[in-house]
Structure 1
């Protein structure tokens, strides 16, 4: 089996866990590196460590065919923490050079298309430059918004707020379109690249349907029959407080539909999935 020995950096996270499960089921020899590893599958080797520690990486990251890099700080009040996204990846790339590991699947974001981004988006743009300027045999995957049929996504969080307060907060007009992709589709796309490697590939991965937050709220209303007030929060107000908001405010209301011709689309139906998400107790 080609690409049999796989290290998943950030394999305990939201996208990492299902990828690890799928690879293990397919017979790959999977190792997970994480700051806070949780042993979720028997037979998987877990390494507790931090990509900020280059000496640790040099000692432990060796004898792998492929590295899947998912580690990232996405939301934090401490904006300087986003620099760790760049430093951690740089340490990993240098470790791969030293330990002769050639292949990496790097998870980026479609936010890199937004002209003006905040600290998180800026860090991901810098990370892509590191990958593209490296001598590695890379695949860059740029997901749209990723969700699962669970409570750990923005659809369920919005539904929970509506249910408890009868208020629906929407940033901006709510008309911004995006293409959410089910994380199970992400898993299958990742597996596809491992099985049939395409060197120097950059691919967007998106759901098959575009949707807006206004449409999301209509689905919630129709499914639950909950009466609520929709409150639109002007982006200009958030801009005044963006340094104490734990996500990128800049570019938040920009269009999020994929513009890359090299786009793979998932199979999940977002409207059906939202209906299933809000049925979760």
Structure 2
């Protein structure tokens, strides 16, 4: 998960760096061509590409690809129009939304303390978004929409059986985003691509492969409550890249909101681990009897 977050955040920085030269769909199109071809080549070499996918997995992969497309559109649109650290700070709500969704859709237990922490975390998100306040833009709402899309994407990945390789799922996501960008290109005028922009998008193409693969592999085999806090490493990268590359730094309320979201996320992680240990100890004592 930590590697996934680093890959996605550096990918975001590369894509954001070309926002002054071309539109979103053109950037996604160029990145999509390179990343999809690279993943297909890697899968062909490693045997990770299969077409005899179980029927149930086909529907799960299709739904996951749709949520990936929606997440890419909402988040990258926000990223093109707001500081990278602000967009990343909103994404820090993901461990909270994934925990909540796990309780609602997967039947995972969430006590009142963790539920309260989730609500406080959402209040932290509101500090970042600040609807109605001066300086508020619709792109903050786009970032929130991306959170819900990624939550759906990650939960869907857990429903894909072990018979389907993670690389196949990742290729489907990359191909879906590329097709979406190709359709979007119909309404955009193609802009000349400078050498710097081309290199940035090639870098993004390589990094997005790592992001797709690690995200899929992690959510399929990892325990949600354990891996979720490692998402917070993306905020550290976003703050550093925002300052060094783009000369951006969040204001006090944004940092306070981000700290609130991170703190509540870590608390939910702590509670989950504590409850898991208590259950394990109870089972061990029962077996000894």
Report TM bin, short chain: under 0.3
**TM-score relative to the length of structure 1:** 0.27
Greater fraction helix: 2
Structure possessing the higher relative contact order (Cα contacts under 8 Å, 6 or more residues apart): 2
**TM-score relative to the length of structure 2:** 0.26
Greater fraction strand: 1
